[in-house]
Amino acid sequence: MSFQKFTLGLVAAFGLPWLLLIAVPFGTTRNIDAPEFDEDKDGRTGLYETASRTGRVANGSEVYGANGCYVCHTQVIRPTNAGNDLWRDAWAGQKNDDTKNGPRESNAFDYKGELIAHIGLTRNGPDLSNVGYRLEQAAAAAGVSPEDYVYQRLLTPRAILDNYDSTCPSQPQLFRPANAFGQTTEAYLDAEGNKLVPGKSAKALANYLLKLKKDDFIPDSINYSRD
Ligand code: HEC
């Protein structure tokens, strides 16, 4: 093999992938404009402001990661050609809610503010992208506050009505024993009947779960599931 052929081979083997996988994507995305609403297509103008995911919600996202929730739960609504997520109202979002957006696919902005995008490893449990709505509905049906419902769910997933065979693991490590004396207003019973109160991380996680409503109104330009 001549030296010239050898050099050309090197360029083809390393130069082309570098160009296509690094240089071109970098050049096209380094100066990307923030998505804007379009008067004609969206009926409103202005910049798209992503849902706020800071403070306790961001802490909750870390608790979610640290306790391995992502191993069984995804947070990604796939396009219809890759799965039937969009047909599941509860997974893909709320139909006819205030946003008038309808169920939509996930996009990169849905994870803004989170240290790690919890797209998840397996779909062992349900997708949690929009679980905030379902938790509120379940709490209303049970006649308790959404927070109460989530704490009890984290502590005894199987005790929730119609859920005796749930494989969602109990998370007692997020709770601490309730004071044996005096009044405790927010104690929850574990499977053995011990009174526990939610710790800091349980509160953050509950906050995070209840705010999981990734179906806010997005500009037409980044909404791939508009039809
Ligand atoms: C071993 C797999 C597994 C792990 C790990 C897991 N879950 Fe689950 N989860 C499930 C399954 C299966 C269900 C469905 C049955 C049920 O409703 O309990 C579920 C249901 C849920 C639901 C109700 C979803 C709905 O649509 O109403 C919530 C909320 C939830 N899990 C939160 C969590 C959180 C928070 C963690 C981490 C602390 C976690 N899960 C870890 C398997 C898992």
My answer on whether 141 and 125 are in the same domain is no
My answer on whether 39 and 120 are in the same domain is yes
Bridge partner residues of 197 (DSSP): 176
28 within some domain:
no
Indicate the pTM of the whole model. Answer: 0.86
My answer on whether 37 and 121 are in the same domain is yes
Residue 171, ligand 1, Cβ within 6 A: yes
Q: The tokens of 115 are what?
A: 């240290």
**Residue-level pLDDT at 210:** 96
Residue 68, ligand 1, Cβ within 6 A: yes
> By residue range, what is the domain housing residue 160?
132-200
CA–CA gap between residue 190 and residue 199 (Å, rounded): 14
Residue 67, ligand 1, Cβ within 6 A: yes
My answer on whether 68 and 120 are in the same domain is yes
76 within some domain:
yes
My answer on whether 38 and 114 are in the same domain is yes
Distance 226 CA to ligand 1 centre (A): 29
CA–CA gap between residue 179 and residue 197 (Å, rounded): 9
My answer on whether 120 and 224 are in the same domain is yes
**Residue-level pLDDT at 98:** 57
My answer on whether 122 and 137 are in the same domain is no
My answer on whether 98 and 139 are in the same domain is no
CA–CA gap between residue 218 and residue 35 (Å, rounded): 9
Residue 88, ligand 1, Cβ within 6 A: no
44 within some domain:
yes
12 within some domain:
no
13 within some domain:
no
Closest CA to 53 of 111, 125, 122: 111
Counting the structural domains of the chain, the total is 2
My answer on whether 77 and 104 are in the same domain is yes
Q: If residue 70 lies in a helix (H) or strand (E), which one and from where to where?
A: helix 69-72
Determine which residue's CA is closest to atom 41 belonging to ligand 1: 69
Q: The tokens of 143 are what?
A: 């006649």
My answer on whether 120 and 136 are in the same domain is no
Bridge partner residues of 198 (DSSP): 175
Residue 125, ligand 1, Cβ within 6 A: yes
Determine which residue's CA is closest to atom 39 belonging to ligand 1: 69
My answer on whether 217 and 125 are in the same domain is yes
Residue 204, ligand 1, Cβ within 6 A: no
Residue 69, ligand 1, Cβ within 6 A: yes
157 sits in the region (left: phi over 0; alpha: psi -120 to 50; else beta) called alpha
pLDDT in single tens digits along all 227 residues of the chain: 799 999 999 999 999 999 999 999 998 888 777 889 999 888 889 999 877 788 888 899 999 999 999 999 999 999 888 888 888 888 888 876 555 556 789 988 898 888 899 999 999 999 999 999 999 999 999 999 999 999 999 999 988 767 778 999 999 999 999 877 766 667 898 888 889 999 999 999 999 999 999 988 888 888 887 66
My answer on whether 69 and 149 are in the same domain is no
